[in-house]
Amino acid sequence: MKGLYTALMCSFDEQGNVNEKGLREIVRYNIEVSEVDGLYVNGSTGENFLISTEQKKQIFEIVKDEVGDQVKLIAQVGSLNIEEASDLAKFVTDLGYDAISAVTPFYYKFDFEEIKDYYNTILEGVDTQLIIYSIPALTGVNMNLEQFGELFENEKIIGVKFTAPDFFLLERLRHAFPDKLIYSGFDEMLLSASVLNVDGAIGSTFNVNGKRAKQIFTLAQGGKIDEAREIQKVTNDLIEEILNNGLYQTIKEMLKTQGVNAGFVRKPMKQLTEERAIKARELAKKYL
Ligand code: NGF
C-alpha cells in the first residue's frame, strides 16, 4: 500500500451528473501518463461532499471496473451520516477495493470519544483496513499524538493521510508508529514529508503532476535531497499558480488540454472564467 496515490478528480457534466467516459479517461491518464501507484477515490478532490450516495457508488464502480488490479485503490467513505459511511465501506469492500479511508467527522464539534466510535462503527462487520483522513484546515478536527495512538489500537486502522503543515506532529507520529502507514497530504510539502520518511502521499495535483511528485519522493528516499528540491521548486511554481487560479477547476482544464474530458465542477463551486481557463491552458503548455 506504499507509494503515490492520486486524489482522483471526477468528471461531471454541466448538470452535475457523473460523466462516465470522462471519469474513465481521468483514470487512464493517471495510470498511463502520471504513472501513480494508486488512486484515492471520492476524496475532497473528487468533490465527494457535494454528491449523492448513488453517485458515490457509481464512481466507485466505474473506477474499479476501469482499473481492475492495475493499481491500488483506496475508497474514501467518510460521511457525517454514519449509516452511509458504513454502507459505503461494505460496498467498496465487496467491489474489491484495497482499503477504505474516512475523513474525521466534521461540522459539529465531536469529542474524541465520538470520533473513535465513528471509526470503530464504520469498521464493524466489514473485513477491510482503514486509513484515517486527517485534514484539520477543512474539518477543524485537530488530533494529538495520543489520540492517533488510541485510534491505531484498532488493528484494522492501518494508517493516516496526514494533510497538515504540522511537521512536529508528523515526525512524532512517524517515530511512535513505525508500522503504520503515513501518507503526506499536501503536495507542496512532499519533499519535507518525504525527508521524515512517510510511506507515500495522496494529492490532487498528481492528476497532472504525478511524474514530478514520484521523482521528488524517489529522490528523497534515495537521499538525493538537492535534486529533489529542484523538482519540488518547479512543482511549487505550478501549485502556486494552480491555487491562485482555482484548484480543482484549473486541474480539470489542464487535463482537457491533454485530451482528457475532465468536465465541469459541481455547484456551489463555480466554473473558470474564460480568462482563467486561458491561464490554465498556458500552465498546461508550460508544465505538462
Ligand atoms: O484539496 C485539498 C484540500 N488537499 C489536497 C489533498 O490533500 C486532498 C492536496 O493535494 C485529497 O487528498 C483528497 O482529495 O482527498 C492539495 O490540493 C494540494 O496540496 C494543493 O494545496 O486541502
Given the residues 56, 64, 72, 161, select the one marked as catalytic: 161
Strand partners, 144: none
Domain for residue 252, yes or no?
no
161 catalytic? Reply is yes
How far apart CA 223 and CA 197 sit, in angstroms, is 11
119-176 pLDDT, tens digit each: 999 999 899 999 999 999 999 999 999 999 999 999 999 999 999 999 999 999 999 9
Give how many domains the chain has, as a whole number.
Answer: 1
The count of other CB atoms within 10 Å of the CB of residue 222 is 10
Cβ 60 vs Cβ 8: under 8 Å: no
Give the position, in ligand 1's atom list, of the atom nearest the Cα of 187.
Answer: 19
Please tell me whether 163 is known to bind a ligand. yes
ipTM above 0.85, yes or no: yes
Residue 193 structural domain: 3-224
Number of residues that this document lists for the chain: 288
What CATH number did the domain enclosing 163 receive?
3.20.20.70
Phi, psi angles (nearest 5°) of residue 254 = -65, -40
Grid cell digits, residue 97:
477495493
Element (H, E) at 131: strand 130-134
Cβ 206 vs Cβ 38: under 8 Å: no
Domain for residue 73, yes or no?
yes
Domain for residue 257, yes or no?
no
Does residue 239's CB lie within 6 angstroms of at least one atom of ligand 1?
yes
178-236 pLDDT, tens digit each: 999 999 999 999 999 999 999 999 999 999 999 999 999 999 999 999 999 999 999 99
Question: 125 CA distance to ligand 1 centroid (A)?
Answer: 30
